[in-house]
Structure 1
């Protein structure tokens, strides 16, 4: 992972909201400082876990500008710049570059966009003109487009296209992407140690909002190829990472982070807070992590 620009834990950080549903920038700064202190290697701003789809364009751009300024080079910065219009993706990407972001994460065209390989290649070629490293996004269950190994090899020929985040949840499919030699990042929380063993170049990890120190310890152990240590750490993480992947992912991350002292308020509407009957199961799954995770934010 040492030759890749985004190794380790790239935290898909939650976006904190106040009681009125507005972005709470004071709290956002506190969270960033807490996660930096916990050792996270990078941040994904305006991530899916950070409710990108429920932020306006201006809110997302302001969030990226603010976050990058607070981080100030102490960790890498990836900004999600996904949008329906390619012109808007380029606009957001140019803005991220001006803010000092190290790269951008971009969904392929979605909601009745092109599904043929050439259409996907043309889309990312347009985004590449903004001049920032691009991380593509493979989440076929959500957008209806699969980044296959053959497509990934073609995308890697585009200037600035450096990686793909795989959130398919299919380890065999992700391993196939990694075998192309193009850096592949894992985005499926229950697969973390297996993906790292299979050659994932880095992690984009929403569940790490709840247990950043433990997640960083696992990534560092994997980078040093201390697989026995990885296995022991994963025993504590596996129950919660499997639980949140079963449904209500964003709501679960917000609730779990709050339980662990990294509260970001409630998710923004139309998402509701996690149902009360699911809280105890989440709390039980997090219990083995409490001793290691002592939030200071």
Structure 2
């Protein structure tokens, strides 16, 4: 089972809009040095919705190649068309990813039965560990606990990233699934709470900026050290909210550019962080110890 702090890695880009492959390699090494437990490549924070299919597969291959087995790589392969998700998941398996992360279909708003059949079809088509991803605030599609429980009985569906931020719902889900089915947080502000309830890790946006701190909080929470986990998380709490002052990944890309990790470039229809939001994000970075001035 993959556990701990799993960074929802940004995809660095050049001002031309092309993927910056040099900075991508540098980012991977930065996270390995910093104690990140696993990398999620080309998830929604990695701008999967605006990369071409070829770029998507190329980034997964590069991440797998550069990581070279040092930490797990989870490839984002979700789509709102089942056939497209299968194609991306096949590409991730061929690249050597350890697992795939599949967001619920966005915009077309399937029923719960449609969600079940969608994920079942992908699992049956590609023999690779698969993690479901529920983020209704971004997809307009909310996968119920009951549907997750049904899907958890499929052998290669091994976990779910719950980005609802609803701890009552998360606790009920953890209690209902088998011990070998992982529930991960996808909501940085409530991640420590979910891990203390039995969650296995945090697929984190904040980890892009302060990876060592997020990894420490995750380790403590998973170990059940409540006081120390909260103390570690308190130091970085400003980032959990301020990295969402505009649509993700706009603020986190700008924050990473301030650390010299990448350019602030981002693909349309997203645009770079607004001038009037930069001071807010910078102050949060200072409060969290990411920068000093």
Deviations, residues 183-232 of structure 1 (Å, cap 9, x unaligned): 21100111121111122111111121011111111112223322222122
Name the structure 1 match of 2:174: 178
Q: Which runs of 5+ in 2 are unaligned?
A: none
SS at match of 2:146: helix
Aligned equivalents of 2:23, 2:240: Cα separation in 1: 25
Aligned equivalents of 1:167, 1:227: Cα separation in 2: 21
Cα–Cα, structure 1 residues 264 and 224, in superposed 2: closer, same or farther, change >3 Å? Answer: farther
SS at match of 2:137: helix
| TM-score relative to the length of structure 2 | 0.93
Name the structure 2 match of 1:203: 202
Q: Number of matched residues?
A: 288
Aligned equivalents of 1:246, 1:27: Cα separation in 2: 25
Name the structure 2 match of 1:18: 14
* Pairs within 5 Å for 1:204-219: 204-219=203-218
* Pairs within 5 Å for 1:6-85: 6-85=2-81
Q: Which runs of 5+ in 1 are unaligned?
A: none
* Pairs within 5 Å for 1:213-232: 213-232=212-231
Cα–Cα, structure 1 residues 235 and 109, in superposed 2: closer, same or farther, change >3 Å? Answer: closer
Name the structure 2 match of 1:274: 273
Name the structure 1 match of 2:128: 132
How much has 1:244 moved relative to structure 2? 2.2
Cα–Cα, structure 1 residues 108 and 289, in superposed 2: closer, same or farther, change >3 Å? Answer: closer
Name the structure 1 match of 2:264: 265
Name the structure 1 match of 2:117: 122
Aligned equivalents of 1:170, 1:113: Cα separation in 2: 21
Any conservation in 2 of the 1:11–1:206 contact (CA below 8 Å)? yes
Match of 1:90 among 77, 86, 101: 86
Kindly report the root-mean-square deviation, in angstroms, between the aligned alpha carbons of the 2 structures: 1.7
Aligned equivalents of 2:109, 2:287: Cα separation in 1: 44
* Pairs within 5 Å for 1:156-195: 156-181=152-177, 182-195=181-194
Cα–Cα, structure 1 residues 147 and 176, in superposed 2: closer, same or farther, change >3 Å? Answer: farther
Any conservation in 1 of the 2:256–2:264 contact (CA below 8 Å)? no
| TM-score relative to the length of structure 1 | 0.91
